Structure formats: structure tokens, C-alpha cells
Structure 1
Amino acid sequence: EELDDIIVYYLELGDFNYADMAVTYGLKLHPNSLDIKIKKLEVLLEWEDYNTAKEMIDELKGSSMENTDFLVCYAKYYSNLGNPRKSIDICKKALELNEEENFLNNFIADEYVNLGDPFNALKHYQQALKEDPTDEYSLENAMICFSDLNKSEEAIAFLNDYLDNFAYSEVAWSEYGQYYFNRKNYEEAIKGFDYMLAINSSAVGVYASKAACYEALNQYKKAVEVYEEMLELEYTKAFTFYKIGLCYKALKQPTVALNYFQKSLREDPQFYMAMMEQSYLYEEMGGMPEALHFAREATLLNDGNLDYQKRLAFLFIDSGKFEESLSCLKKLVDAEPSRFYNWYAYTE
């Protein structure tokens, strides 16, 4: 049992070399142990040594078809080789042993996903959730299946029923908020995100989702308040400063917006999105040299962005720097040879 625990520890840690060393040592002490041989099979599958794994499966099949761990390895072998139907058949046989039902139903569901069958995948994710109602993986994937099946009414009914029984589930409230966000019911989405933040006030990503709802409702001041709460929790703040800047830009407060874009750049001097926004603001405020400077810096950092190349070309032309604009226009006609206006600008 101690050897088994050590092997399992290294397998869960993902340290397969040490797991193999423990298996080898275990087989020296107990050469006929089925449990240790099955752990050896797990290691072989992790190493993708399928020829040796098949030999071991053939050796163990006669004595281990009532062993759940073996059947999981057997199913994984076919899954890894791209045969999900065979994998599903083996998992269903394992389910007859009434062990690891949650894991096995998730395994089967994942294989149905690989087959492009969200209907059957959903049934098994829901079954997995019955076996372990706290399984976040099953819940998230069940919602994905509902989405793939375009069953929005069934999805929210399922989610509400789940929340009636597990009102403190962070994942469920996050899914609730996201469900309504995707349907542009931002007020209801905010309710879901607020419930989740009441459960876990340090969930940084939820603040961003809540702020995005306020932005969609054009309630930019409330969005700024949420982003400011978010700043207190973040280690890297560049993107949040940038988002606050966009809110103030929408509120027609360019000076305040510019200040936040500058804060964003102090946090991350290579954040080209903040650079380009500064370029737009300087242009609005009549500062064309500054607009050109920040557009050039942003484009250097994101050379493949055609919108940036077009803007930079325009600013060069506006400044009378026609030679400099040619490098941008050349990239545009190379990337979009069928667009008339690229050639027209290049010709001019």
C-alpha cells in the first residue's frame, strides 16, 4: 500500500521518471502484483510507449477485466490512439463495477465530445454531476454542451435547479452571469457576477466581466468603479488602467483618459494598445507629432496589424512624410492585394 501511494503521488505530480523508478522497485519486491503492473501501464501511456503498453494490456487482460484502474488504462490506450468509440465501450464496462462513476462518466463524456456528439456528452456530464455535485469540470462542460446544442432554455433551467441546491457554487454563478452576458441581458448578468463576488471577493476575472456589463450598458462611471476595485487585487495592472482609459474616453474626458493610458504604459512599456489609444487622443487634441510618435511605436510592436499600418500611413501622409508612408503602404498591398484603396493610396 505504501508503494502504491508513492507511485500514485508521483503520477499525480506528473513526475513520470520517479513514478517509473518506484514501479520498477515495487516490481522487484512484488513481481506478481497486479496493482503495480497497472501503475506501470499508466506510466507507459504517459510516455506514449504504445507498443509496450499493448503488450502489457494483453498480459493483464485475462486477470484484470474486473479492475477499474486497468479498465481506465485500457480505455485511455484507445483514446490516445484516436479510437473514442472503443474507449467508450471499455468505460461503460468499467461503470458496471460501480466504482469511480464520476470520473468514468466524465471520461465517456469527453470521448463523445471528441466524436462531435454533444447530446450524449451532456448526458454523461450530468450523470457525473449527480455522482459528485461539486464537480466544477462536469458543470462547466455541461453548459458548453447546452450551448453547442442551442438549448438555451434548458441550460438556464438546469443552472437554476443546480443553484437551488448549491447556492454557494462559484462556477455556477459565473456560468449564470456569462449565460446572460452572452444574451446581452447585462442587468441579470451583473446579478450573477455580484453573487459570485459575494462568495469570493478576490475573483479578479469576475470584476472584469461585471465592468464589461456596465460598459455595454454605457454606464462608464460604474464600470470605472468596478475596475478600481479590481486594481486593488491585481499584480499587473496595465490592462485595467487601459480599460479605465477607454471608459473616460467614452465619457468625453480625454485628459483623464490620457492619464490612464500613460499609467498603463508605465506598468507595461510595450503595451501597444495603450500607445495607439494615446495616438488617437493626441490627434483629437491637435497634437499631431505626438499622435504620429505613439502610432509609430505601437506599430513597431505589432507590425502585422493592418489597421495600425493604415493609421500610421495616414499620419505619415498627413505630416507630409510620403517616403515614410511607403513602407506601410507596401505592406498593405502585399497583405491585401485585392483592395482598391490600398493600391490607390500607394499610387498617389
Structure 2
Amino acid sequence: MEFSHDDNNNLPLTKFESMLKTNHVLFFDSEEFENIIHHYLNQGKIALAKKAIKLGLDQHPTSINLRLFKVEVHVFEDKLFEAEDLLNELYSIDPTNEEVYIQKANILSKRDNHEKAIEVLKKAIDLTDDLVDLYSLIGMEYLFLDQYEEAKVYFMKCLEQDIEDYSALYNVIYCFEFLNQNEDAISYLNIFLDKNPYCEVAWHQLGKQYVVLKKYQKALTAFDFAIISDDSFVGAYLERGKVLEQLKRYEEAIENYTITLKLDEPTSFALLRIGTCYEKLKDDELAVQYYYQTVHEDPLLDKGWIAITKFYNKKKNFKKALYYINKAINIDSENVNYWKLYSQINNRLNLYEEAEQGFKKTLELGNYELNTWLSRGDLLIKLGEPEAAIYNFEQAVEFYPENAELEYRLAGLYFSLRENEKGKFHLKNGLKFNAEYSFIIDELFPEVSNKILVKSIIKEH
């Protein structure tokens, strides 16, 4: 029995907690101790559970269930040898107790011996009437082994025993999805819904499978049935909104997202999607209003800041775009996407030093996209820092060893510094990798492209 401080059945718990405060030992029967321990374990109050186990065993030293709780705590605290010793003792006393097998499997699982854990759990099947938990545990062990077909079978067995075990239903669908068996998932869900036609979770999952297959009309129907089954099901409204967006039915999408704001606390996801829909409908005033609400609701949601920055970027209001991306960076200075946008906006405002610093920060954060190296190097050229540009491009070559765009830039820089041998080396590399990109020399280094040496190398190629 699970205790609650709000019901009338918590007298043993109140009595126990009162005893702890007074140090006056009171008597409890073993079942009361079991309920108290179970309550504390469910609450994550391990220290109190351990006290209850100790006091329980002091009063009922032969209780197998109380000793099994002690095993459970040992396992939780990774005291596996102590747990194993106690289990072996309990097995010799009661070899048909399924909980002994479950805890033995738990220890094996903790030691990553999942095959043996499954073997032990299967032995327990013949010892219990409560098959759902055992099937679920076996399914989880198969998931640890990445054996999704076998896991799927056991989660299905859970549902055969208990059609309302939605945790098992989610796991079944997870297995189907991992195996890319979306059509099979749809067939299974339809059979499941024949037996349980008002299961909103199954309708919701069915809709999501249709979305993967881009069968949007069928997905909408499934989400409709999820809402009919439970008209306060926020997830179904959100998924329905996403599908309506795909179908460019933005007004209807907004309606669905708006319903979620009324049913529950406003989510930054719904606010962002509403803003995006209004932007698609060319209603800039409402779009930006919802983007503001998004970042107010969740300042850590990067998609919100990116949306509002890109909104002003598209409007060519670069100063306002820069203002919002700076606010975003102040909140999370480690976000690569923020720095990329920061650099692009500064570049458009001809603030080349700031743009270069932004690309440098992007690289420092581990974003090694070719375009980042190229953009930063080109800005260093513009800022009259050829040595720094060379160092930048040479670092890039380590990641992109046969890239013509990098080689032409290095060639132009070395020729500019009158290091002709290095210039020739990189120019020939560029021509070898892709001769069509030789226009880079003309564009970035017009004075170099007029050199007789450069012209002759290109002509010779």
C-alpha cells in the first residue's frame, strides 16, 4: 500500500516518523514496515528507507520481504557483493520467491551481464502471477542488448496482460521506430485500437507514424481521434498543429497551438510555432509579438532567439537583429549558432573585426564547417592580416586536405607576400583539385592574377 500525507491510511507512517523524532521504539507488524519502506523508496528517501529496514529487521529478523528490501538498497548503492551474499542466503530459504530472481537479475544487469539477467528473469516467470513486471524487465534487458525484435515481443506480452500499460506501448513503438518498421507499427496500433478504441495514447502514436510516412491526412484523422478520446490531450493538439503547418494551413495550425496555451502552462514551443505561422501569413506584428513571448517564456531556447534574429535579418533591420543576437549571447555564450548569426550580421553591417571575432569564437567552440574557415579567412584578408589568414587556412586544410577553395586562397596570400614558391605550390594544388575555382584569384587577389608567373601557371594547366 502506498502512503500519502493527504489520506487517512497513513497512520503507520505518521507513527513511524513520530518514533524517529522521539527515539521511543514502537512496534509495527512486518507488513506495516514493508509499506513504510516502499513509500520511502518511491520518494527517493533512501536514508529513511534504510532506517525503516534496520528497525524492521530488529523486530522481524526472519522476514524475507524486509531482507529483500535490504538487497534492493544494496543494489541501489552499488554494494553488489553484499546484495549477492544476502540473496544467496534468501534463495536457500525460499527458492520459489520470484523477488529473489528479480533482484539477482538486477545485479547481473548492473554488471552488464544482460544475457544472464534475461535467463534468470525467464526462470521467475513460472513462479509468479504478476507477469507484467517480469515481461517489462525482460524487455528492458533486451533493449540494453540492442535486440529490438526480442524487446518488442516482451513489451507486447505486457500489453496482452494489461492493455492499459502505456509505458509498454511506448516501448513497443520505440522498437518499431528504431527498426524503421513504420508500416508494421501502424498495423499493430490498428489491431490494438480495435480492442481499445478510446486509447488516446495509441491514436497519438498512430498519427506520428503516419507523419513519418508523410501521410498527413491520415495523421490528422488519428490526432482527431486522440482528441475525441481526451479533449485535454496537449500532445495531440501540438502534433496536429505541426501537420497543419506541413499542409500550409497556418490559421488552423495556430488554432491548435492556441488551444494548448489554454489547456496547460504556455510552452515556448507552441509560442514559437504560432509566431512562425504568423510570419508565414505575412502578419509581422503578431509574428514578432509571439517571438517576444517565446524568449520571455524560455530565455534558454535558442530557437526563439534565432527566430527573432532571423526575422529582423530578413527585414534588413540588421541593427535590431544584432541587438537580439547580442542578448542571446549574453545568456548563452557557448551556443555556436548564435555566434554564426552574430558574425553574419556584423559582416552585413561592415563591422569586419567583430564578424571575424565571431567566426573565431565559432571555431573555438568546435564548429569546423568549411564555410566558417573561408568566411573568417576572407575577413582577415579584408582587414589586412595576411599572416593570420594563412594560419587560418592552413588549419582548415587539416580538416579539408584537398579543397581547391582553400588552396587558391593560400596561393593568393603567398604570392601577395612574395613567397612565390609556396604560392606556386598551392596554385598548382588548386588547379589539380578543381580548375574551375581559379576565379578566386581574380576576385580576392586582383593584383596577383595579373602576375606573369601566375598567368603562365594557369595557362600551362
Q: TM-score scaled to structure 1, two decimals?
A: 0.91
Q: Which residue of 1 aligns with 2:292?
A: 262
Q: Which amino acid aligns with 1:119?
A: E
Q: Which residue of 1 aligns with 2:54?
A: 24
Q: Hey, what's the Cα distance between the residues in 2 that align with 1:124 and 1:283?
A: 52
Q: Hey, what's the Cα distance between the residues in 2 that align with 1:221 and 1:6?
A: 53
Q: Which is bigger in relative contact order (C-alpha 8 A, separation at least 6)?
A: 1
Q: Which amino acid aligns with 1:178?
A: K
Q: Which residue of 2 aligns with 1:224?
A: 254
Q: Which amino acid aligns with 1:274?
A: G
Aligned CA RMSD, in angstroms, stands at 2.2
**Is 1:45 matched up with 2:75?**
yes
The alpha-carbon distance between structure 1 residues 278 and 108, as it changes in their structure 2 partners (threshold 3 A), is: closer
The alpha-carbon distance between structure 1 residues 24 and 155, as it changes in their structure 2 partners (threshold 3 A), is: same
Q: Deviation per CA, 1:267-311, whole angstroms, max 9, x where unpaired?
A: 455655434333333344343322221232233334334443233
Query: How far is 1:22 from its partner?
Result: 1.9
Please point out which of 245, 253, 277 is paired with 2:275: 245
> What pairs up with 1:208-219 in 2 under 5 angstroms?
208-219=238-249
Query: How far is 1:183 from its partner?
Result: 1.5
Aligned length: 348
Of stretches 236-245 and 180-189 in structure 1, the one that deviates more from structure 2 is 236-245
Of stretches 279-288 and 207-216 in structure 1, the one that deviates more from structure 2 is 279-288
Q: Which residue of 2 aligns with 1:121?
A: 151
Q: Hey, what's the Cα distance between the residues in 2 that align with 1:239 and 1:122?
A: 31
Q: Which residue of 1 aligns with 2:449?
A: none
Q: Hey, what's the Cα distance between the residues in 2 that align with 1:260 and 1:86?
A: 54
**Is 1:91 matched up with 2:91?**
no
Please point out which of 296, 318, 325 is paired with 2:348: 318
Q: Hey, what's the Cα distance between the residues in 2 that align with 1:247 and 1:256?
A: 10
Q: Hey, what's the Cα distance between the residues in 1 that align with 2:123 and 2:303?
A: 54
Partner-residue secondary structure (3-state), 1:297: helix
**Is 1:33 matched up with 2:63?**
yes
Q: Hey, what's the Cα distance between the residues in 2 that align with 1:150 and 1:265?
A: 35
Q: Which residue of 2 aligns with 1:174?
A: 204
Partner-residue secondary structure (3-state), 1:66: coil
The alpha-carbon distance between structure 1 residues 298 and 141, as it changes in their structure 2 partners (threshold 3 A), is: same
Query: How far is 1:237 from its partner?
Result: 4.2
The alpha-carbon distance between structure 1 residues 330 and 220, as it changes in their structure 2 partners (threshold 3 A), is: same
Please point out which of 60, 70, 73 is paired with 2:100: 70
Q: Hey, what's the Cα distance between the residues in 1 that align with 2:134 and 2:380?
A: 61
Query: How far is 1:248 from its partner?
Result: 1.4
Q: Deviation per CA, 1:44-99, whole angstroms, max 9, x where unpaired?
A: 11222112112102212212220011111111111112111111111111101142
Partner-residue secondary structure (3-state), 2:214: coil
Q: Deviation per CA, 1:222-257, whole angstroms, max 9, x where unpaired?
A: 111111112212324443222211111112222331
Unmatched 5+ stretches in structure 1:
none
The alpha-carbon distance between structure 1 residues 26 and 324, as it changes in their structure 2 partners (threshold 3 A), is: same
Q: Does the Cα contact within 8 Å between 2:300 and 2:332 map onto a contact in 1?
A: no
Q: Percent identity?
A: 28
Q: Does the Cα contact within 8 Å between 1:309 and 1:328 map onto a contact in 2?
A: yes
Query: How far is 1:166 from its partner?
Result: 0.7
Q: Hey, what's the Cα distance between the residues in 2 that align with 1:225 and 1:60?
A: 60
Q: Which residue of 1 aligns with 2:408?
A: none
Q: Which residue of 1 aligns with 2:380?
A: 346
Query: How far is 1:30 from its partner?
Result: 2.0
Q: Which residue of 2 aligns with 1:54?
A: 84
Unmatched 5+ stretches in structure 2:
1-30, 383-461
Q: Deviation per CA, 1:128-172, whole angstroms, max 9, x where unpaired?
A: 111111111111111122223333332212111110111121221
Q: Does the Cα contact within 8 Å between 1:177 and 1:188 map onto a contact in 2?
A: yes
Q: Does the Cα contact within 8 Å between 2:241 and 2:257 map onto a contact in 1?
A: yes
Q: Hey, what's the Cα distance between the residues in 2 that align with 1:170 and 1:228?
A: 20
Q: Hey, what's the Cα distance between the residues in 2 that align with 1:88 and 1:269?
A: 45
Please point out which of 169, 186, 190 is paired with 1:156: 186
Of stretches 270-279 and 24-33 in structure 1, the one that deviates more from structure 2 is 270-279
Q: Hey, what's the Cα distance between the residues in 2 that align with 1:16 and 1:329?
A: 49
Q: Which residue of 1 aligns with 2:171?
A: 141
Partner-residue secondary structure (3-state), 2:78: coil
Q: Which residue of 2 aligns with 1:165?
A: 195
Larger Cα-atom Rg: 2
> Runs of 4 or more off by more than 6 Å in structure 1?
none
The alpha-carbon distance between structure 1 residues 20 and 341, as it changes in their structure 2 partners (threshold 3 A), is: same
Q: Does the Cα contact within 8 Å between 1:41 and 1:53 map onto a contact in 2?
A: yes
Query: How far is 1:266 from its partner?
Result: 4.3
Query: How far is 1:197 from its partner?
Result: 1.7
Q: Hey, what's the Cα distance between the residues in 1 that align with 2:46 and 2:333?
A: 42
Q: Hey, what's the Cα distance between the residues in 1 that align with 2:132 and 2:298?
A: 44
The alpha-carbon distance between structure 1 residues 64 and 230, as it changes in their structure 2 partners (threshold 3 A), is: same
